[in-house]
Structure 1
């Protein structure tokens, strides 16, 4: 230890904390080729043209383009004079939810508005900056530089002055290779899950939509031997639960488990208790706000409570995947949209759900269907478990690797496999 400042030998104190003495701290404008922030104007929407990406389109390190709109080629060209985006650039949300980061690893074809643009020029620098910006050190620094009271934002000047820790190139390459290996494996498993889901949906549509038996009875989605609406309210208990609102669910995945509610008695407001073999969907909005509890343990399921923004259906072992794929289907979304009511915000109520009539295949058909699709969902569940483990390991390593607390030669890449 140094007698003067208690800094360990081989380390230096910086504006970002302690870093190895071989690392340099340089500003983003010196690390990058260019830093810009897109147009400040509001180009008109057009039916055709090029996409305009704003801060709200950057979520969970990805571009969400479903809410983006087209602008004219003329506006697109004008914006790109200032802030043309290229492969290996980094985008950062600058207003609203500030600090969402996206790495462009493919050639882009859109313009940006009020989005921070870090032009890196090559893969290694882009990946290093990306992982630093999403790390706890990077995110904490972003939060410390925010302006605004009603709506938070970060200025272009702050982005340019952003301090970036830079290790020797060889270490930079090795660290990004390790972190990329985790993300590549996660993306591979996610792509496999998408294929498995699509396969199950295709089978469902062929069996129960396109070739449904004319002699099949039709029964209530919310009150039949196939499925029944789960009532609201919880029995009295003490303890802590993970509270899930519809905003905490995206693409049938739980994306936020940070909200806890502690109960010492029966809650005063009605909440929804998931149970094994249950299917849940948001009463408002997208069909993708759906959850399934099937292969979980009873203890795992009972960790959660759901907001009254969800409706729940208790299914049987035989009907579970049939009901899940129906709730997940385009056909259900269309039926739900037609039943929506409410002057302020559209909402489907329990009576509406009970009035949805679905085909009732006989048990032999359901059993054959389950024999085909159940292994697909088991594989999805296994992949999801592996994805969760990979994410936890990556997130544990990320701050240590990006601060030099864990040097590359101390880590074995076999841990990724």
Structure 2
């Protein structure tokens, strides 16, 4: 730690500023996206379906001095989101701050420093406002940053970047595998459908369990009891995150049951990775005759998800789907033998996705454990060690 020195964020940045305080002239034909803090996700600028666009002329009016040294930070409403700028065509809104890191500082090290709980907590401490909180640029520039030598900055950033690159690779593999599995199921279920298949309903083929929320006093975030999932807020890619636990579960899903969100919004889909409690916002589905046909179950429900999601438009306040509606969705029902055969074809793809998801969580846990220790100098980098 003797070589670590304290600086202010403003001392190690050539420029810190924020985006447009106002609304640009949007254009559906524009080439530039209007980016705010909620577009900054996992180190990248995320373009969403609802992201507005502007023209070249509007960009020229509001452009900022962004470069490959720029880190973007959410400072209004969505506090603490981070992304590197990689030449994307964009105009920044006021909730996106740009920080141009000086050339003698490793910008990847600063990115991970800003990702740390210590930095994120500082952002919340200096934020102002009641309804919508905001991090003032003046306060941002004053945040202390502890730095080692440039060589150690690069070594630390290299370790953390290697972990993130592996995580990103696994995410990309999963997207490819998911697309392959969906195409395989659709080809079999639609293009190769047999006339002998029976007309039926989802409830004829699957055990459907509608969730029930436990008493509020049984909830905790300390890992006591079993995981409880309430709906879309808990769902990630394939498996939900363990956010809330309960000591008084009422309804259960088994490992590898298909889970769907049945309330506001309807239609998000996941899979249970362990026995869990399902609250009123979740339903679970399991193949009736052989519970180990979880791949067939998952992609069969995914095929019907557009129809299930259509229930978002029902209800007086928010969308929901009840057990009778879910049970009654019409479907073709192959024989058990045929369902087993397609499950065998889907299983290698699905199991690889599942394995990748477990590996992603393991790598994320390692990264999150190392991050504060590396950033404080508690743990030194062994540059000869493979990640």
Whether these two folds match at TM > 0.5 is yes
For 1:283 and 1:65, the matched residues in 2 are separated by 27
Q: CA deviation at 1:205?
A: 1.0
SS of residue paired to 2:183: helix
Contact 2:258 2:271 in 1 (8 A): yes
Q: CA deviation at 1:335?
A: 5.0
User: Residues 401, 242 of structure 1: CA spacing in aligned structure 2 closer, same or farther, 3 A cutoff?
Assistant: same
**1:189-248: CA deviation from partner (whole Å, max 9, x where unpaired):** 121122111111110111112332233212211x21x21211444899x96233323212
Contact 1:232 1:272 in 2 (8 A): yes
TM-score norm. by structure 2 comes to 0.88
Report the equivalent of 2:97: 116
Q: CA deviation at 1:123?
A: 11
Query: Structure 2 matches for 1:94-105, cutoff 5 A?
Result: 94-104=75-85
Deviates more, 1:54-63 or 1:91-100: 54-63
> Is 1:290 aligned with 2:290?
no
Query: Structure 2 matches for 1:77-226, cutoff 5 A?
Result: 77-80=60-63, 83-104=64-85, 106-114=86-94, 115-120=96-101, 125-221=106-202, 223-224=203-204, 226=205
User: Residues 402, 277 of structure 1: CA spacing in aligned structure 2 closer, same or farther, 3 A cutoff?
Assistant: closer
Query: Structure 2 matches for 1:1-400, cutoff 5 A?
Result: 20-49=1-30, 50-66=32-48, 67-80=50-63, 83-104=64-85, 106-114=86-94, 115-120=96-101, 125-221=106-202, 223-224=203-204, 226-233=205-212, 240-245=225-230, 246-255=232-241, 257-263=242-248, 272-284=251-263, 289-293=268-272, 296=273, 301-302=274-275, 304-315=276-287, 316-317=290-291, 319-329=293-303, 331-337=304-310, 340-400=313-373
For 1:285 and 1:210, the matched residues in 2 are separated by 33
**1:349-376: CA deviation from partner (whole Å, max 9, x where unpaired):** 2221122111112233222212211111
Q: CA deviation at 1:177?
A: 0.7
User: Residues 326, 47 of structure 1: CA spacing in aligned structure 2 closer, same or farther, 3 A cutoff?
Assistant: farther
Contact 1:240 1:260 in 2 (8 A): yes
For 1:210 and 1:124, the matched residues in 2 are separated by 57
For 1:161 and 1:128, the matched residues in 2 are separated by 18
SS of residue paired to 2:225: strand
Contact 2:127 2:133 in 1 (8 A): yes
Q: CA deviation at 1:121?
A: 6.3
**1:375-408: CA deviation from partner (whole Å, max 9, x where unpaired):** 1122222222221211111111110111111122
User: Residues 405, 206 of structure 1: CA spacing in aligned structure 2 closer, same or farther, 3 A cutoff?
Assistant: same
Q: Which runs of 5+ in 1 are unaligned?
A: 1-19
Q: CA deviation at 1:182?
A: 0.6
For 2:319 and 2:267, the matched residues in 1 are separated by 17
SS of residue paired to 1:175: helix
Contact 2:200 2:332 in 1 (8 A): yes
Deviates more, 1:51-60 or 1:195-204: 51-60
Contact 2:311 2:319 in 1 (8 A): no
For 2:251 and 2:60, the matched residues in 1 are separated by 51
Contact 1:288 1:328 in 2 (8 A): no
Contact 1:280 1:291 in 2 (8 A): yes
Q: Which runs of 5+ in 2 are unaligned?
A: 219-223
Contact 2:260 2:269 in 1 (8 A): yes
User: Residues 318, 402 of structure 1: CA spacing in aligned structure 2 closer, same or farther, 3 A cutoff?
Assistant: closer
TM-score norm. by structure 1 comes to 0.82
